[in-house]
Homo-oligomer: A and B are copies of this chain.
Amino acid sequence: MEAQTGTLLISCLDRPGIIAGVSNLLYDNGCNIIDSDQHTDRDDGHFFWRIYFASRSRAMEQMRSVLAAELPKALSSLSLRWQLFDSTQRERIVIMVSKLPHCMSDLLNRHHLGELGGDVVGVVSNHPDLEPLVRPFQVPFVTIPVEKGRKHEAEAQSLKKLEELRCTLVVLARYMQVLSGDFLRAWGKPIVNIHHSFLPAFVGAQPYKQAYERGVKLVGATAHYVTEELDAGPIITQGTTAVSHRDTVKDLARKGKDVEVIVLAQAVRAHLLKRVLTHGNKTIVFP
C-alpha cells in the first residue's frame, strides 16, 4: 500500500502525557509524523496540536475509526475536540464577489497554478459583471442578484447553490452584502471574509474613506472568519502598507487592494492546509 497522508487537529485541556499518548497511538498504527505544531493558551490551559502524518498500513478512513476509538482513551480529557482530514479530500471553495475583481482573480490564478491547496468550484456574484474574467478558469459563474427587501430569497438561492456545488468553504472576496444570521446558521461551515482595513479600525462601510478622513499613514486589510457581529469574527491574517498625504480615497483603495489580495490568499491557503484553529474569538495560525 502506498502511504496516505492526513492532518489531525486536536484540542483539549493540557496535561502531561498528551504528546506521548498520541504519538504512540500513531506509531503503533504504522503512522509517521511528518510535521507537528502545537500551542498552549497560557490563559486557560487549552492545548492545540496539528499533526501532518503519513499512514503506511491503513487507509485514512481506517485511521479515522482507530482515532475515534482510541483518542478519547489516550487523552481522557473532557474538553477533547479532534478532526481528521484526508489529504486526498480537497476542499471545495465557492468565491462570493460583487464588482471588484482583484481578490477573486488572484484566487482563481493561484488555483490555476495549483498553489491554493484546494479547488475553486464556483463563483457566486450579485452582479453579472465579472463573468468574463472567470471564463478562462472553467469555473461556473452564477449571478444571484440581491434586490432590496428580498435578501432572504437571494440567500436561500445562494445556499442551494453552495450545496449543489458541494462547497466546504465560502470565501467573500469583496462581496458587498452583509450575510444574515439566518444564512450563517443555515450554512454552518466556515466563511472567510476580507475586510479592507486593519481591524478593529474602520469597521463597517467605506473603510478607505474613513481612513482618509482620519489621516492615517498606513492602510490595511484583515481576513477573518465571518460571525454574526459585523467585522468582529476571529482574525486570521492582517497586513498594512504605507500611504501619504498625496493619496486620495481612490489612491488608498488602489494601494489597499494589493494588501487585500495577499492577506486573503494567505488566510485561505492557511485554512485549506488546516493550519488555522479557532479558540473563542481568536485564531491559532500555525506557520
User: Contact residues of A with B, CB < 8 Å?
Assistant: 15-17, 19-20, 23-24, 26-27, 30-40, 42, 101-102, 105, 109, 112-113, 115, 132-133, 135-136, 198-202, 214-218, 220, 234-240, 244-246, 248, 254, 258, 262, 265, 281-285, 287
Rounded to whole angstroms, the CA-CA distance of A23 and B26 in the bound complex is 13
Let me know if B40 and A34 touch, CB within 8 A: yes
Copies in the complex: 4
Let me know if A109 and B105 touch, CB within 8 A: yes
Cβ distance A32 to chain B, nearest Cβ, rounded Å: 4
| Shortest beta-carbon contacts, A-B, top 7 | A215-B282, A20-B27, A201-B201, A20-B23, A16-B32, A217-B238, A245-B284
Rounded to whole angstroms, the CA-CA distance of A163 and B15 in the bound complex is 42
Let me know if A246 and B287 touch, CB within 8 A: yes
List the B side residues contacting A214 at CB < 8 Å: 199-200, 235, 281
Given known contacts A37-B37, A132-B136, A214-B235, what 14 new A-B pairs fall within 8 Å (CB)? A20-B20, A23-B23, A135-B136, A198-B216, A199-B201, A200-B201, A200-B214, A214-B281, A215-B282, A215-B283, A216-B235, A217-B237, A218-B220, A220-B240
- Most chain B CB within a 10 A radius of its CB, from A199, A200, A245: A245
Query: Which residue in B19, B32, B238 is a CB contact (below 8 Å) of A216?
Result: B238
Let me know if A16 and B20 touch, CB within 8 A: no
List the B side residues contacting A37 at CB < 8 Å: 37
Rounded to whole angstroms, the CA-CA distance of A206 and B42 in the bound complex is 19
Rounded to whole angstroms, the CA-CA distance of A202 and B202 in the bound complex is 12
Let me know if A246 and B36 touch, CB within 8 A: no
Let me know if A24 and B20 touch, CB within 8 A: yes
Rounded to whole angstroms, the CA-CA distance of A20 and B18 in the bound complex is 11
Nearest-neighbor residue (CB-CB) of A232 within chain B:
B214
List the B side residues contacting A20 at CB < 8 Å: 20, 23-24, 26-27
CB pairs A–B below 8 angstroms (16 shown): A16-B30, A16-B31, A20-B24, A34-B40, A35-B40, A136-B136, A198-B198, A198-B240, A200-B216, A214-B235, A215-B234, A215-B281, A217-B235, A218-B238, A218-B240, A245-B283
